């Protein structure tokens, strides 16, 4: 199905966030990490572009420089979802970083010369909610779609309208948001020469043949009230070039979305935290997930504009945590795959079809969620 990625992953991976922006053949000026203040969206309340708790949406913006002055990266972070009234109330109460901008001041960026924008994820629905009515009892606002549109509109006035290159990217729930909003992003920046999207660990599969399929359906149907929410039902229709970066042993999907039949339940939590403790039936369920994931990717077809890097690391999220791309152990992918794909220097369809066991890739500290 694809190119085999050797088990010596440390020799064949990429410091991904560097490669996302270090895309051209020109020299990249990498600066030390910097703290970037939050910008609250202008007229957010009037536009209805507010967080779950009603606070104005916000973003962090670091201005580009040099030959990156007209290139933009828009980043959508992850953070799960809330699909029920009570789970959204709990999110506001216990996870203010994912439901409000009231106490947020700065965000750390690592350093490339593109314009970098980190949009705060505070709506709980992968930037897809657009419910005008506010529940008077809970004061919950479901306005993620308005947040995305309003932030992009504001950035257009700050130079995004003159972009030559633009990229929408994100991890986990933000990776899913990247898939869901990819064509909309392209439409919002019509004058850019090159617009592409990179989804990190956002390809959540339905896996009808695996345990807890009904549970997965209920979970995602609560977040967006239609079942085509699963990326496998959407990716083929996306016209904007899209890069899927994911593990076929996605740790979050295995730990949270994949629940075995009752006979296999004992020890499942310990198994998914430490693969070496898995019983043979438990390990087989995990391998079945990997096989189903690869079959689902294969079912997307061979769109020539689509890039793929599907590996067997037992990890969820590659781009977000500094330790993963700053670590000396962080594997590098030869030939700057994302850059080659972004600038059409070559097609990139790298899929590990040989390793059928989840790999502990030891990226950064090695203890990742």
- For the annotated catalytic residues, the residue numbers are 172, 250, 316
Strand ordering across the sheet containing 58-62: 106-109, 34-40, 58-62, 115-119, 71-76, 165-171, 194-200, 242-247, 307-311, 349-351
Helix pair 144-156, 173-188: axis angle to 10 deg: 50
Q: Residue 240 class from Cβ within 10 Å (0-12 exposed, 13-18 middle, 19+ buried)?
A: middle
Tell me the H-state helices in the chain: 16-21, 44-47, 85-94, 144-156, 173-188, 213-223, 251-252, 268-273, 280-298, 322-326, 337-342
At 329, list the tokens: 């152990």
Cα gap 142→53, rounded to integer Å: 9
Please tell me whether residue 296 adopts helix, strand or coil conformation: helix
Q: Is 2 exposed, middle or buried (0-12, 13-18, 19+ CB in 10 A)?
A: middle
Residue 201 CB partners (closer than 8 Å, separation 6+): 78, 171, 172, 175, 245, 246, 247, 250, 252, 315, 316, 317, 318
């Amino acid at each position: 199905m694809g190119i085999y990625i050797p088990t010596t992953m440390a020799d064949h991976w990429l410091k991904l966030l560097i490669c996302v922006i270090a895309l051209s053949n020109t020299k990249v000026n990498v600066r030390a990490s910097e703290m970037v203040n939050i910008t609250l969206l202008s007229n957010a309340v009037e536009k209805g572009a507010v967080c779950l708790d009603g606070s104005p949406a916000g973003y962090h913006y670091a201005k580009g420089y040099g030959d990156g002055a007209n290139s933009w990266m828009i980043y959508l972070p992850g953070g799960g979802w809330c699909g029920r009234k009570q789970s959204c109330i709990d999110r506001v109460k216990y996870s203010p970083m994912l439901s409000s901008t009231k106490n947020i001041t700065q965000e750390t960026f690592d350093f490339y010369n593109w314009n970098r924008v980190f949009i705060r994820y505070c709506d709980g629905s992968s930037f897809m909610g657009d419910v005008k009515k506010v529940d008077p009892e809970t004061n919950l606002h479901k306005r993620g779609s308005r947040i995305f549109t309003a932030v992009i509109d504001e950035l257009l006035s700050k130079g995004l309208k003159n972009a030559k290159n633009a990229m929408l990217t994100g991890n986990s729930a933000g990776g899913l948001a990247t898939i869901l909003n990819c064509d909309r992003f392209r439409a919002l920046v019509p004058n850019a020469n090159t617009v592409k999207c990179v989804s990190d660990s956002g390809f959540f599969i339905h896996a009808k043949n695996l345990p807890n399929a009904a549970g997965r359906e209920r979970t995602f149907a609560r977040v967006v009230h239609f079942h085509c929410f699963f990326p496998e039902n959407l990716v083929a229709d996306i016209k904007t070039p899209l890069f899927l970066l994911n593990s076929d042993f996605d740790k979050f999907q295995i730990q949270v979305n994949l629940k075995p039949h009752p006979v296999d339940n004992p020890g499942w939590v310990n198994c998914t935290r430490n693969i070496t403790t898995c019983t043979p039936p438990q390990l087989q369920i995990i391998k079945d997930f990997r096989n189903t994931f690869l079959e689902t990717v294969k079912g997307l077809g061979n769109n020539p504009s689509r890039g793929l890097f599907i590996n067997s690391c037992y990890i969820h999220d590659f781009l977000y945590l500094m330790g993963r791309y700053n670590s000396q152990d962080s594997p590098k992918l030869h030939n700057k795959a994302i850059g080659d794909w972004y600038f059409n220097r070559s097609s990139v369809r790298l899929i590990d079809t040989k390793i059928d066991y989840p790999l502990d890739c030891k990226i950064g500290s090695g203890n990742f969620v």
